[in-house]
Structure 1
Amino acid sequence: MNTIPTSGHLFVVRDSFARKLLELARRALVYDQMIPYLGPGLLRLSSAEPPVPCTPEAVAAALNTRATAPSKIRTNMWSVAQFIEQRRHRRTLQAWMADIFAGPTAPTPLHNWLAKLPLSLIVDSWYEGAMRAALAEAGRTDVAEIQGVTRANETRDIWTRTYDLFGTELEPGAATKTVLYAPHGSIRPAANFLIADSDYVEALTEIDIQTPIPDVVKERRTDRGFFFVGCRFNDQMLRTYARQIMKRSEGPRYAIMDGQTLTRNEARFLGASGITVIDMPDSDAVAQLAGSTT
Protein backbone atom coordinates (compact mmCIF):
# COMPACT_ATOMS: atom_id res chain seq x y z
CA MET A 1 0.00 0.00 0.00
CA ASN A 2 1.12 3.57 -0.58
CA THR A 3 1.96 5.92 2.23
CA ILE A 4 -0.22 8.96 2.88
CA PRO A 5 0.90 12.26 1.29
CA THR A 6 1.84 14.76 3.98
CA SER A 7 2.18 17.95 1.97
CA GLY A 8 -1.23 19.24 3.04
CA HIS A 9 -2.10 20.05 -0.57
CA LEU A 10 -5.38 18.83 -2.03
CA PHE A 11 -5.02 16.39 -4.92
CA VAL A 12 -7.94 16.12 -7.35
CA VAL A 13 -7.96 13.70 -10.31
CA ARG A 14 -10.43 13.73 -13.20
CA ASP A 15 -11.29 11.94 -16.47
CA SER A 16 -8.95 9.08 -17.41
CA PHE A 17 -6.78 9.63 -14.34
CA ALA A 18 -9.85 9.34 -12.14
CA ARG A 19 -10.88 6.08 -13.78
CA LYS A 20 -7.40 4.63 -13.35
CA LEU A 21 -7.26 5.58 -9.69
CA LEU A 22 -10.75 4.17 -9.15
CA GLU A 23 -9.60 0.88 -10.65
CA LEU A 24 -6.75 0.80 -8.12
CA ALA A 25 -9.30 1.44 -5.38
CA ARG A 26 -11.51 -1.36 -6.70
CA ARG A 27 -8.64 -3.84 -6.56
CA ALA A 28 -7.71 -2.70 -3.06
CA LEU A 29 -11.30 -3.29 -1.92
CA VAL A 30 -11.39 -6.74 -3.52
CA TYR A 31 -8.18 -7.71 -1.70
CA ASP A 32 -9.27 -6.22 1.64
CA GLN A 33 -6.62 -3.52 1.54
CA MET A 34 -9.05 -0.61 1.79
CA ILE A 35 -11.95 0.25 4.11
CA PRO A 36 -15.17 1.61 2.57
CA TYR A 37 -16.48 4.67 4.43
CA LEU A 38 -20.08 5.13 3.29
CA GLY A 39 -22.10 8.34 3.51
CA PRO A 40 -25.76 9.28 3.03
CA GLY A 41 -25.21 10.54 -0.53
CA LEU A 42 -25.42 6.93 -1.71
CA LEU A 43 -29.17 6.98 -1.04
CA ARG A 44 -29.67 9.17 -4.11
CA LEU A 45 -28.42 6.33 -6.30
CA SER A 46 -31.48 4.19 -5.58
CA SER A 47 -34.08 6.92 -5.86
CA ALA A 48 -34.36 10.56 -6.82
CA GLU A 49 -36.54 10.90 -3.71
CA PRO A 50 -35.04 8.57 -1.07
CA PRO A 51 -37.53 7.22 1.50
CA VAL A 52 -35.44 8.69 4.31
CA PRO A 53 -33.40 11.91 4.63
CA CYS A 54 -29.97 11.79 2.97
CA THR A 55 -28.36 14.91 4.45
CA PRO A 56 -28.12 16.37 7.96
CA GLU A 57 -30.09 19.36 6.67
CA ALA A 58 -32.91 17.05 5.54
CA VAL A 59 -33.03 15.44 9.00
CA ALA A 60 -33.22 18.90 10.54
CA ALA A 61 -36.12 19.75 8.22
CA ALA A 62 -37.94 16.54 9.15
CA LEU A 63 -37.51 17.26 12.86
CA ASN A 64 -38.71 20.83 12.33
CA THR A 65 -42.03 19.54 11.00
CA ARG A 66 -42.57 17.96 14.43
CA ALA A 67 -41.24 20.80 16.59
CA THR A 68 -40.14 24.09 15.09
CA ALA A 69 -36.71 25.12 16.30
CA PRO A 70 -35.46 28.73 16.51
CA SER A 71 -34.48 30.13 13.12
CA LYS A 72 -30.77 30.51 13.97
CA ILE A 73 -30.38 26.73 14.46
CA ARG A 74 -33.15 25.45 12.19
CA THR A 75 -30.89 23.91 9.54
CA ASN A 76 -28.40 22.33 11.98
CA MET A 77 -29.38 18.71 12.66
CA TRP A 78 -27.44 18.39 15.91
CA SER A 79 -28.74 21.64 17.36
CA VAL A 80 -32.36 20.96 16.35
CA ALA A 81 -32.15 17.53 17.97
CA GLN A 82 -30.74 19.13 21.12
CA PHE A 83 -33.59 21.65 21.16
CA ILE A 84 -36.14 18.82 20.95
CA GLU A 85 -34.42 16.78 23.65
CA GLN A 86 -34.43 19.74 26.02
CA ARG A 87 -38.06 20.71 25.31
CA ARG A 88 -39.72 17.34 24.71
CA HIS A 89 -37.47 14.72 26.40
CA ARG A 90 -35.04 12.19 24.96
CA ARG A 91 -37.75 9.57 24.44
CA THR A 92 -39.59 11.92 22.10
CA LEU A 93 -36.47 12.63 20.06
CA GLN A 94 -35.74 8.90 19.86
CA ALA A 95 -39.28 8.12 18.71
CA TRP A 96 -39.25 10.86 16.07
CA MET A 97 -35.91 9.74 14.69
CA ALA A 98 -37.16 6.15 14.52
CA ASP A 99 -40.21 7.37 12.62
CA ILE A 100 -38.15 9.50 10.22
CA PHE A 101 -35.89 6.53 9.36
CA ALA A 102 -38.58 3.83 9.48
CA GLY A 103 -38.97 3.55 5.70
CA PRO A 104 -37.19 0.54 4.18
CA THR A 105 -34.13 1.63 2.23
CA ALA A 106 -33.04 -0.64 -0.60
CA PRO A 107 -29.30 -1.29 -0.83
CA THR A 108 -27.58 0.22 -3.86
CA PRO A 109 -25.46 -1.86 -6.27
CA LEU A 110 -22.41 -0.65 -4.33
CA HIS A 111 -23.81 -1.95 -1.04
CA ASN A 112 -24.59 -5.30 -2.67
CA TRP A 113 -21.14 -5.53 -4.24
CA LEU A 114 -19.37 -4.70 -0.99
CA ALA A 115 -21.50 -7.26 0.87
CA LYS A 116 -19.95 -10.05 -1.20
CA LEU A 117 -16.34 -9.01 -0.54
CA PRO A 118 -14.26 -10.46 2.32
CA LEU A 119 -13.78 -7.04 3.87
CA SER A 120 -12.43 -6.80 7.40
CA LEU A 121 -14.07 -3.45 8.13
CA ILE A 122 -16.82 -1.28 6.65
CA VAL A 123 -17.76 2.12 8.09
CA ASP A 124 -21.35 3.29 7.60
CA SER A 125 -21.74 6.90 8.69
CA TRP A 126 -25.52 7.25 8.26
CA TYR A 127 -28.59 5.92 10.06
CA GLU A 128 -30.62 4.08 7.41
CA GLY A 129 -28.98 0.63 7.59
CA ALA A 130 -28.68 -0.12 3.85
CA MET A 131 -25.25 -1.73 4.26
CA ARG A 132 -26.57 -3.93 7.04
CA ALA A 133 -29.48 -4.97 4.81
CA ALA A 134 -27.14 -5.82 1.94
CA LEU A 135 -25.00 -8.02 4.17
CA ALA A 136 -28.09 -9.82 5.46
CA GLU A 137 -29.47 -10.31 1.93
CA ALA A 138 -26.12 -11.78 0.90
CA GLY A 139 -26.58 -14.44 3.56
CA ARG A 140 -23.55 -13.37 5.53
CA THR A 141 -23.28 -15.03 8.95
CA ASP A 142 -19.77 -13.79 9.73
CA VAL A 143 -20.60 -10.12 10.41
CA ALA A 144 -20.83 -8.11 13.62
CA GLU A 145 -22.20 -4.58 13.59
CA ILE A 146 -20.83 -2.15 16.17
CA GLN A 147 -23.04 0.88 16.68
CA GLY A 148 -22.34 4.08 18.54
CA VAL A 149 -24.88 4.67 21.31
CA THR A 150 -25.92 7.72 23.27
CA ARG A 151 -24.76 7.60 26.85
CA ALA A 152 -28.00 9.33 27.85
CA ASN A 153 -29.70 5.91 27.85
CA GLU A 154 -26.86 3.96 29.44
CA THR A 155 -26.17 3.02 33.04
CA ARG A 156 -22.82 1.44 32.15
CA ASP A 157 -19.67 3.15 30.91
CA ILE A 158 -20.00 2.09 27.28
CA TRP A 159 -19.71 3.85 23.94
CA THR A 160 -21.04 1.16 21.59
CA ARG A 161 -23.25 -1.91 21.33
CA THR A 162 -22.61 -4.91 19.08
CA TYR A 163 -25.19 -6.94 17.14
CA ASP A 164 -25.32 -9.77 14.65
CA LEU A 165 -27.37 -9.39 11.48
CA PHE A 166 -30.38 -11.03 13.14
CA GLY A 167 -30.51 -8.27 15.74
CA THR A 168 -29.12 -10.29 18.64
CA GLU A 169 -26.82 -8.30 20.87
CA LEU A 170 -23.32 -9.72 21.12
CA GLU A 171 -20.55 -9.31 23.64
CA PRO A 172 -17.98 -6.69 22.60
CA GLY A 173 -15.03 -8.14 20.74
CA ALA A 174 -16.91 -11.00 19.09
CA ALA A 175 -14.64 -12.56 16.45
CA THR A 176 -16.07 -12.14 12.94
CA LYS A 177 -14.72 -11.82 9.42
CA THR A 178 -16.38 -8.46 8.79
CA VAL A 179 -17.04 -5.63 11.22
CA LEU A 180 -19.67 -3.12 10.16
CA TYR A 181 -19.01 0.02 12.19
CA ALA A 182 -21.83 2.58 12.47
CA PRO A 183 -20.24 5.30 14.64
CA HIS A 184 -23.38 7.46 14.78
CA GLY A 185 -25.80 4.57 15.36
CA SER A 186 -28.47 3.08 13.11
CA ILE A 187 -32.22 2.59 12.88
CA ARG A 188 -31.86 -1.20 13.06
CA PRO A 189 -32.04 -3.28 15.12
CA ALA A 190 -32.48 -1.04 18.19
CA ALA A 191 -32.88 2.57 16.94
CA ASN A 192 -29.57 3.78 18.36
CA PHE A 193 -28.97 7.40 17.41
CA LEU A 194 -26.17 9.79 18.21
CA ILE A 195 -27.94 12.92 17.03
CA ALA A 196 -28.13 15.69 19.65
CA ASP A 197 -25.26 17.96 20.63
CA SER A 198 -25.36 16.39 24.11
CA ASP A 199 -24.74 12.95 22.61
CA TYR A 200 -21.37 14.15 21.36
CA VAL A 201 -20.15 16.15 24.36
CA GLU A 202 -18.34 13.27 26.03
CA ALA A 203 -17.45 11.59 22.73
CA LEU A 204 -15.72 14.69 21.38
CA THR A 205 -13.91 15.17 24.68
CA GLU A 206 -12.53 11.63 24.49
CA ILE A 207 -12.26 11.02 20.76
CA ASP A 208 -8.85 12.61 20.35
CA ILE A 209 -7.41 9.88 22.59
CA GLN A 210 -9.54 7.35 20.69
CA THR A 211 -11.58 6.11 23.67
CA PRO A 212 -14.93 5.93 21.79
CA ILE A 213 -13.37 4.09 18.82
CA PRO A 214 -13.71 0.29 19.23
CA ASP A 215 -10.44 -1.60 19.59
CA VAL A 216 -11.24 -3.82 16.60
CA VAL A 217 -11.58 -0.73 14.40
CA LYS A 218 -8.20 0.55 15.57
CA GLU A 219 -6.65 -2.85 14.85
CA ARG A 220 -8.16 -3.39 11.40
CA ARG A 221 -7.46 0.10 10.03
CA THR A 222 -3.73 -0.07 10.78
CA ASP A 223 -2.52 -1.61 7.51
CA ARG A 224 -5.36 -0.43 5.26
CA GLY A 225 -6.49 2.68 3.41
CA PHE A 226 -9.90 4.36 3.33
CA PHE A 227 -12.33 4.84 0.47
CA PHE A 228 -14.97 7.53 1.03
CA VAL A 229 -18.12 7.52 -1.09
CA GLY A 230 -21.42 9.34 -0.59
CA CYS A 231 -19.77 11.59 2.00
CA ARG A 232 -19.53 15.32 2.55
CA PHE A 233 -17.41 17.00 5.19
CA ASN A 234 -19.04 20.43 5.35
CA ASP A 235 -19.57 20.27 9.11
CA GLN A 236 -16.98 20.10 11.87
CA MET A 237 -18.69 17.08 13.46
CA LEU A 238 -18.38 15.04 10.26
CA ARG A 239 -14.75 16.04 9.79
CA THR A 240 -13.84 15.24 13.39
CA TYR A 241 -15.29 11.74 13.28
CA ALA A 242 -13.77 10.89 9.91
CA ARG A 243 -10.37 12.18 11.04
CA GLN A 244 -10.39 10.08 14.20
CA ILE A 245 -11.73 6.92 12.56
CA MET A 246 -8.99 6.92 9.91
CA LYS A 247 -6.30 8.00 12.38
CA ARG A 248 -3.10 5.93 12.15
CA SER A 249 -4.33 4.05 9.08
CA GLU A 250 -1.67 3.29 6.50
CA GLY A 251 -3.36 4.63 3.38
CA PRO A 252 -3.90 5.46 0.64
CA ARG A 253 -7.11 7.45 1.10
CA TYR A 254 -9.51 8.29 -1.72
CA ALA A 255 -12.86 10.07 -1.85
CA ILE A 256 -15.45 10.16 -4.63
CA MET A 257 -16.56 13.80 -4.62
CA ASP A 258 -17.47 16.67 -6.90
CA GLY A 259 -14.34 18.79 -6.79
CA GLN A 260 -16.24 21.88 -7.96
CA THR A 261 -18.58 21.96 -4.95
CA LEU A 262 -16.07 21.53 -2.13
CA THR A 263 -16.23 24.15 0.59
CA ARG A 264 -13.03 25.76 1.78
CA ASN A 265 -13.14 23.75 5.00
CA GLU A 266 -13.73 20.51 3.10
CA ALA A 267 -10.78 21.16 0.79
CA ARG A 268 -8.56 21.99 3.76
CA PHE A 269 -9.66 18.83 5.60
CA LEU A 270 -9.14 16.59 2.58
CA GLY A 271 -5.69 17.99 1.89
CA ALA A 272 -4.58 17.81 5.52
CA SER A 273 -5.85 14.21 5.76
CA GLY A 274 -4.04 13.04 2.63
CA ILE A 275 -7.33 12.18 0.89
CA THR A 276 -7.14 12.28 -2.92
CA VAL A 277 -10.40 13.39 -4.54
CA ILE A 278 -11.61 11.26 -7.46
CA ASP A 279 -13.78 13.83 -9.18
CA MET A 280 -16.65 11.96 -10.80
CA PRO A 281 -20.35 11.41 -10.07
CA ASP A 282 -21.15 8.73 -7.48
CA SER A 283 -23.25 6.91 -10.09
CA ASP A 284 -20.32 6.62 -12.51
CA ALA A 285 -18.00 5.46 -9.75
CA VAL A 286 -20.46 2.80 -8.57
CA ALA A 287 -20.95 1.57 -12.13
CA GLN A 288 -17.19 1.07 -12.49
CA LEU A 289 -16.75 -0.46 -9.03
CA ALA A 290 -19.72 -2.79 -8.99
CA GLY A 291 -19.80 -3.51 -12.73
CA SER A 292 -23.40 -2.39 -13.10
CA THR A 293 -25.40 0.70 -13.80
CA THR A 294 -27.46 2.45 -11.15
Structure 2
Amino acid sequence: MNAILHKDFLFCVSGDEARSTLLDVRAGLEKGAIAPYLGPGLVALAASEASVPASPEAVAAALNTKAPAPSRIRTNMWGVAQYIEQRRHRNTLKAWMAEIFAAEPRPLALHRWLATLSLPLIVDSWYDGAMRAALKESGRQDFISVQGITRAGEVRDIWSRVYRADDTPAGDASVPQADTVLYEPHGSARPAGNFLVADSDYVEVLTEIDIQTPIPDSVKERRGNLGFVFLGCRFHDQMLRTYARQIIKRSKGPYYAVMDGVALSKNERRFLAENGITLIDMPLSDAAAVLAGEDDAPGLAPGVPVKTS
Protein backbone atom coordinates (compact mmCIF):
# COMPACT_ATOMS: atom_id res chain seq x y z
CA MET A 1 0.00 0.00 0.00
CA ASN A 2 0.93 3.67 -0.34
CA ALA A 3 1.06 5.84 2.74
CA ILE A 4 2.12 9.30 3.85
CA LEU A 5 3.61 8.92 7.30
CA HIS A 6 2.75 11.65 9.81
CA LYS A 7 2.66 15.37 9.10
CA ASP A 8 6.19 15.51 7.67
CA PHE A 9 4.85 13.98 4.41
CA LEU A 10 7.19 11.04 4.11
CA PHE A 11 5.94 9.04 1.14
CA CYS A 12 6.03 5.30 1.80
CA VAL A 13 5.25 2.20 -0.24
CA SER A 14 4.86 -1.28 1.19
CA GLY A 15 3.56 -4.72 0.24
CA ASP A 16 2.90 -5.28 -3.46
CA GLU A 17 3.44 -1.60 -4.19
CA ALA A 18 6.93 -1.81 -2.70
CA ARG A 19 7.75 -4.69 -5.05
CA SER A 20 6.39 -2.81 -8.04
CA THR A 21 8.45 0.24 -7.07
CA LEU A 22 11.56 -1.92 -6.78
CA LEU A 23 10.98 -3.18 -10.31
CA ASP A 24 10.98 0.46 -11.43
CA VAL A 25 14.21 0.98 -9.49
CA ARG A 26 15.69 -2.10 -11.13
CA ALA A 27 14.79 -0.71 -14.56
CA GLY A 28 16.42 2.59 -13.64
CA LEU A 29 19.58 0.82 -12.57
CA GLU A 30 19.69 -1.17 -15.80
CA LYS A 31 19.38 2.06 -17.80
CA GLY A 32 22.11 3.76 -15.77
CA ALA A 33 19.60 6.36 -14.59
CA ILE A 34 19.78 5.45 -10.89
CA ALA A 35 22.92 5.04 -8.80
CA PRO A 36 23.06 2.58 -5.89
CA TYR A 37 24.14 4.01 -2.52
CA LEU A 38 25.22 0.99 -0.48
CA GLY A 39 25.52 0.80 3.30
CA PRO A 40 26.73 -1.57 6.03
CA GLY A 41 23.37 -3.32 6.35
CA LEU A 42 24.24 -5.43 3.32
CA VAL A 43 27.04 -7.13 5.27
CA ALA A 44 24.51 -8.92 7.46
CA LEU A 45 22.93 -10.54 4.38
CA ALA A 46 26.17 -12.27 3.34
CA ALA A 47 26.01 -14.97 6.00
CA SER A 48 24.14 -15.97 9.14
CA GLU A 49 27.09 -14.58 11.07
CA ALA A 50 28.75 -11.56 9.48
CA SER A 51 32.51 -11.85 9.09
CA VAL A 52 32.99 -8.10 9.55
CA PRO A 53 30.95 -5.52 11.48
CA ALA A 54 27.65 -4.60 9.89
CA SER A 55 27.11 -1.22 11.56
CA PRO A 56 29.03 1.66 13.13
CA GLU A 57 27.91 0.38 16.53
CA ALA A 58 29.46 -3.02 15.77
CA VAL A 59 32.75 -1.34 14.83
CA ALA A 60 32.65 0.56 18.12
CA ALA A 61 32.15 -2.74 19.97
CA ALA A 62 35.09 -4.32 18.13
CA LEU A 63 37.36 -1.36 18.92
CA ASN A 64 36.26 -1.50 22.56
CA THR A 65 37.64 -5.02 22.87
CA LYS A 66 41.06 -3.60 22.02
CA ALA A 67 40.94 -0.39 24.07
CA PRO A 68 37.87 0.12 26.28
CA ALA A 69 36.50 3.64 25.87
CA PRO A 70 34.54 5.68 28.43
CA SER A 71 30.92 4.58 28.76
CA ARG A 72 29.55 7.87 27.44
CA ILE A 73 31.05 7.22 23.98
CA ARG A 74 31.30 3.43 24.00
CA THR A 75 28.64 2.86 21.31
CA ASN A 76 29.77 5.74 19.08
CA MET A 77 32.23 4.52 16.44
CA TRP A 78 33.59 7.96 15.65
CA GLY A 79 34.10 8.82 19.32
CA VAL A 80 35.75 5.50 20.19
CA ALA A 81 38.08 5.80 17.19
CA GLN A 82 39.01 9.32 18.28
CA TYR A 83 39.72 8.08 21.81
CA ILE A 84 42.07 5.42 20.43
CA GLU A 85 43.80 7.84 18.08
CA GLN A 86 44.49 10.29 20.90
CA ARG A 87 45.83 7.68 23.31
CA ARG A 88 47.39 5.02 21.05
CA HIS A 89 48.35 6.96 17.88
CA ARG A 90 46.79 7.06 14.44
CA ASN A 91 48.84 4.11 13.19
CA THR A 92 47.38 1.92 15.92
CA LEU A 93 43.85 2.89 14.96
CA LYS A 94 44.55 2.17 11.30
CA ALA A 95 46.08 -1.21 12.14
CA TRP A 96 43.12 -2.20 14.30
CA MET A 97 40.61 -1.14 11.65
CA ALA A 98 42.51 -3.19 9.06
CA GLU A 99 42.39 -6.16 11.42
CA ILE A 100 38.65 -5.74 12.05
CA PHE A 101 38.01 -5.68 8.29
CA ALA A 102 40.64 -8.25 7.35
CA ALA A 103 38.17 -10.93 6.23
CA GLU A 104 37.79 -11.28 2.48
CA PRO A 105 34.74 -9.39 1.18
CA ARG A 106 31.63 -11.45 0.55
CA PRO A 107 29.77 -9.97 -2.42
CA LEU A 108 26.07 -10.71 -2.54
CA ALA A 109 24.15 -11.64 -5.66
CA LEU A 110 23.07 -7.98 -5.58
CA HIS A 111 26.69 -6.79 -5.75
CA ARG A 112 27.45 -9.18 -8.59
CA TRP A 113 24.38 -8.08 -10.52
CA LEU A 114 25.28 -4.40 -10.08
CA ALA A 115 28.78 -5.22 -11.34
CA THR A 116 27.28 -6.37 -14.67
CA LEU A 117 25.58 -3.03 -15.29
CA SER A 118 27.00 0.04 -17.01
CA LEU A 119 26.44 2.25 -13.98
CA PRO A 120 28.11 5.66 -14.23
CA LEU A 121 28.34 5.88 -10.43
CA ILE A 122 28.17 3.54 -7.44
CA VAL A 123 28.48 4.81 -3.87
CA ASP A 124 29.68 2.31 -1.26
CA SER A 125 29.63 3.87 2.20
CA TRP A 126 31.11 0.94 4.15
CA TYR A 127 34.68 -0.27 4.67
CA ASP A 128 34.44 -3.95 3.71
CA GLY A 129 34.97 -3.54 -0.05
CA ALA A 130 32.28 -5.98 -1.20
CA MET A 131 31.24 -3.88 -4.20
CA ARG A 132 34.84 -3.46 -5.34
CA ALA A 133 35.36 -7.21 -4.98
CA ALA A 134 32.30 -7.89 -7.15
CA LEU A 135 33.56 -5.54 -9.85
CA LYS A 136 36.94 -7.27 -9.82
CA GLU A 137 35.38 -10.74 -9.87
CA SER A 138 33.41 -9.76 -12.96
CA GLY A 139 36.69 -9.21 -14.80
CA ARG A 140 35.93 -5.58 -15.52
CA GLN A 141 38.88 -3.26 -16.05
CA ASP A 142 36.81 -0.17 -16.87
CA PHE A 143 36.09 1.02 -13.34
CA ILE A 144 37.92 3.38 -11.03
CA SER A 145 37.69 3.58 -7.24
CA VAL A 146 37.72 7.02 -5.64
CA GLN A 147 38.22 6.71 -1.88
CA GLY A 148 37.93 9.37 0.77
CA ILE A 149 41.07 9.67 2.89
CA THR A 150 41.98 11.19 6.21
CA ARG A 151 43.85 14.48 6.02
CA ALA A 152 45.91 13.57 9.07
CA GLY A 153 49.53 14.03 8.10
CA GLU A 154 48.68 15.42 4.66
CA VAL A 155 50.30 18.65 3.56
CA ARG A 156 48.55 18.77 0.18
CA ASP A 157 45.00 19.94 -0.47
CA ILE A 158 43.78 16.39 -1.06
CA TRP A 159 40.50 14.72 -0.08
CA SER A 160 40.56 11.39 -1.92
CA ARG A 161 42.76 8.87 -3.71
CA VAL A 162 42.09 7.02 -6.95
CA TYR A 163 42.76 3.33 -7.66
CA ARG A 164 42.57 1.29 -10.83
CA ALA A 165 40.91 -2.11 -11.10
CA ASP A 166 44.29 -3.77 -10.51
CA ASP A 167 44.67 -1.89 -7.18
CA THR A 168 47.42 0.41 -8.42
CA PRO A 169 47.13 4.13 -7.63
CA ALA A 170 45.95 6.37 -10.45
CA GLY A 171 45.79 10.09 -11.05
CA ASP A 172 42.63 12.14 -11.27
CA ALA A 173 43.07 12.40 -15.03
CA SER A 174 42.18 8.71 -15.41
CA VAL A 175 38.75 9.08 -13.80
CA PRO A 176 36.82 10.65 -16.73
CA GLN A 177 37.74 7.69 -18.95
CA ALA A 178 36.24 5.14 -16.54
CA ASP A 179 32.86 3.67 -17.43
CA THR A 180 32.03 3.26 -13.73
CA VAL A 181 33.20 5.34 -10.79
CA LEU A 182 33.02 3.50 -7.47
CA TYR A 183 32.94 6.24 -4.84
CA GLU A 184 33.85 5.13 -1.31
CA PRO A 185 33.45 8.36 0.67
CA HIS A 186 34.61 6.96 4.02
CA GLY A 187 37.49 4.96 2.56
CA SER A 188 37.86 1.20 2.40
CA ALA A 189 39.97 -1.61 3.81
CA ARG A 190 41.18 -2.35 0.29
CA PRO A 191 43.47 -1.84 -1.45
CA ALA A 192 45.34 0.56 0.85
CA GLY A 193 43.50 0.70 4.19
CA ASN A 194 42.09 4.21 3.88
CA PHE A 195 39.77 4.84 6.83
CA LEU A 196 37.82 7.93 7.73
CA VAL A 197 36.58 6.82 11.13
CA ALA A 198 37.67 9.16 13.94
CA ASP A 199 35.96 12.43 14.75
CA SER A 200 39.15 14.25 13.77
CA ASP A 201 38.95 12.76 10.26
CA TYR A 202 35.71 14.64 9.67
CA VAL A 203 36.53 18.05 11.15
CA GLU A 204 37.75 19.60 7.90
CA VAL A 205 35.45 17.48 5.72
CA LEU A 206 32.29 18.61 7.48
CA THR A 207 33.53 22.20 7.44
CA GLU A 208 33.94 22.10 3.67
CA ILE A 209 31.31 19.61 2.55
CA ASP A 210 28.49 22.14 2.38
CA ILE A 211 30.37 23.90 -0.42
CA GLN A 212 31.14 20.49 -1.95
CA THR A 213 34.95 20.76 -1.78
CA PRO A 214 35.51 17.17 -0.51
CA ILE A 215 33.15 15.65 -3.10
CA PRO A 216 35.20 14.42 -6.10
CA ASP A 217 34.58 16.22 -9.38
CA SER A 218 33.73 12.88 -11.02
CA VAL A 219 30.84 12.42 -8.59
CA LYS A 220 29.58 15.96 -9.06
CA GLU A 221 29.71 15.57 -12.84
CA ARG A 222 28.02 12.18 -13.03
CA ARG A 223 25.24 12.64 -10.47
CA GLY A 224 23.56 15.41 -12.48
CA ASN A 225 21.54 12.91 -14.53
CA LEU A 226 21.04 10.34 -11.78
CA GLY A 227 18.64 9.33 -9.07
CA PHE A 228 19.74 7.27 -6.06
CA VAL A 229 18.55 4.20 -4.18
CA PHE A 230 19.81 3.67 -0.63
CA LEU A 231 20.34 0.01 0.27
CA GLY A 232 21.54 -1.13 3.70
CA CYS A 233 21.83 2.45 4.98
CA ARG A 234 20.73 4.11 8.21
CA PHE A 235 20.60 7.83 8.90
CA HIS A 236 20.39 7.90 12.69
CA ASP A 237 23.59 9.97 13.00
CA GLN A 238 23.99 13.54 11.81
CA MET A 239 27.26 12.75 10.02
CA LEU A 240 25.62 10.00 7.95
CA ARG A 241 22.76 12.31 7.02
CA THR A 242 25.16 15.10 6.08
CA TYR A 243 27.20 12.88 3.77
CA ALA A 244 24.18 11.42 2.03
CA ARG A 245 22.58 14.85 1.57
CA GLN A 246 25.74 16.34 0.08
CA ILE A 247 26.49 13.38 -2.20
CA ILE A 248 23.02 13.45 -3.80
CA LYS A 249 22.99 17.27 -3.91
CA ARG A 250 22.17 18.69 -7.35
CA SER A 251 21.35 15.23 -8.70
CA LYS A 252 18.32 14.65 -10.88
CA GLY A 253 16.38 12.16 -8.77
CA PRO A 254 14.16 10.33 -8.03
CA TYR A 255 15.34 8.96 -4.67
CA TYR A 256 14.44 5.77 -2.83
CA ALA A 257 15.51 4.10 0.40
CA VAL A 258 14.84 0.49 1.44
CA MET A 259 14.33 0.65 5.21
CA ASP A 260 12.14 -0.73 7.98
CA GLY A 261 9.47 1.90 8.50
CA VAL A 262 8.80 0.83 12.08
CA ALA A 263 12.47 1.18 13.04
CA LEU A 264 12.86 4.71 11.66
CA SER A 265 13.96 7.32 14.15
CA LYS A 266 12.38 10.76 14.14
CA ASN A 267 15.52 12.20 12.55
CA GLU A 268 15.59 9.51 9.87
CA ARG A 269 11.94 10.13 9.02
CA ARG A 270 12.58 13.86 8.76
CA PHE A 271 15.70 13.31 6.62
CA LEU A 272 13.82 11.13 4.12
CA ALA A 273 10.90 13.56 3.93
CA GLU A 274 13.02 16.70 3.57
CA ASN A 275 15.03 15.17 0.72
CA GLY A 276 12.07 13.73 -1.16
CA ILE A 277 13.18 10.14 -0.63
CA THR A 278 10.48 7.50 -1.06
CA LEU A 279 10.59 4.91 1.71
CA ILE A 280 10.34 1.35 0.38
CA ASP A 281 9.20 -0.39 3.54
CA MET A 282 10.28 -4.01 3.23
CA PRO A 283 13.06 -6.29 4.51
CA LEU A 284 16.42 -5.57 2.92
CA SER A 285 16.91 -9.25 2.06
CA ASP A 286 13.66 -9.27 0.07
CA ALA A 287 14.55 -6.04 -1.71
CA ALA A 288 18.01 -7.35 -2.62
CA ALA A 289 16.42 -10.48 -4.07
CA VAL A 290 13.97 -8.48 -6.18
CA LEU A 291 16.70 -6.23 -7.55
CA ALA A 292 19.07 -9.11 -8.29
CA GLY A 293 16.32 -11.05 -10.05
CA GLU A 294 16.19 -13.78 -7.40
CA ASP A 295 12.65 -13.01 -6.30
CA ASP A 296 10.24 -15.64 -7.61
CA ALA A 297 7.05 -14.29 -6.09
CA PRO A 298 4.27 -14.69 -8.66
CA GLY A 299 2.06 -11.95 -9.91
CA LEU A 300 4.33 -8.95 -9.51
CA ALA A 301 2.60 -5.98 -11.02
CA PRO A 302 4.46 -3.85 -13.53
CA GLY A 303 6.13 -0.79 -12.08
CA VAL A 304 4.15 2.42 -11.70
CA PRO A 305 5.38 5.98 -11.14
CA VAL A 306 5.91 6.79 -7.50
CA LYS A 307 5.63 10.19 -5.86
CA THR A 308 8.93 11.07 -4.16
CA SER A 309 8.01 13.85 -1.78
> Same fold by TM (over 0.5)?
yes
In the alignment, does 2:81 pair up with 1:120? no
Map of 2:228 onto structure 1: 226
Amino acid corresponding to residue 283 of structure 2 in structure 1: P
Please show how residues 4-153 of structure 1 align to structure 2 within 5 Å. Answer: 9-153=9-153
| Rounded Cα–Cα distance in structure 2 between residues aligned with 1:140 and 1:63 | 35
Map of 1:4 onto structure 2: none
Map of 1:185 onto structure 2: 187
Contact 1:13 1:278 in 2 (8 A): yes
Tell me the CA shift for residue 86 of structure 1. Answer: 0.3
Percent sequence identity over aligned pairs: 64
Q: Secondary structure at the match of 2:54?
A: coil
Q: Deviations over 1:63-98 (max 9, x none)?
A: 000001000000000000000000000000000000
Tell me the CA shift for residue 158 of structure 1. Answer: 0.1
Q: Secondary structure at the match of 1:287?
A: helix
| Rounded Cα–Cα distance in structure 1 between residues aligned with 2:173 and 2:126 | 22
Q: Deviations over 1:196-236 (max 9, x none)?
A: 00000000000000000001101111111001000010111
In structure 2, the CA distance between the partners of 1:39 and 1:22, relative to structure 1 (3 Å rule), is same
In the alignment, does 2:192 pair up with 1:216? no
Please, which moves more after superposition, 150-159 or 186-195? 150-159
| TM-score normalised over the length of structure 2 | 0.91
| Rounded Cα–Cα distance in structure 2 between residues aligned with 1:42 and 1:293 | 17
| Rounded Cα–Cα distance in structure 1 between residues aligned with 2:210 and 2:129 | 27
Amino acid corresponding to residue 226 of structure 2 in structure 1: R
Contact 1:8 1:274 in 2 (8 A): no
Matched length:
288
**Alignment gaps of 5+ in structure 1:** 1-6
| Rounded Cα–Cα distance in structure 2 between residues aligned with 1:139 and 1:153 | 35
In structure 2, the CA distance between the partners of 1:288 and 1:71, relative to structure 1 (3 Å rule), is same
**Alignment gaps of 5+ in structure 2:** 1-6, 297-309
| Rounded Cα–Cα distance in structure 2 between residues aligned with 1:274 and 1:39 | 19
Tell me the CA shift for residue 19 of structure 1. Answer: 1.0
| Deviating 4+ runs (over 4 angstroms) | none
Map of 2:165 onto structure 1: 165
RMSD of the alignment, in Å? 1.2
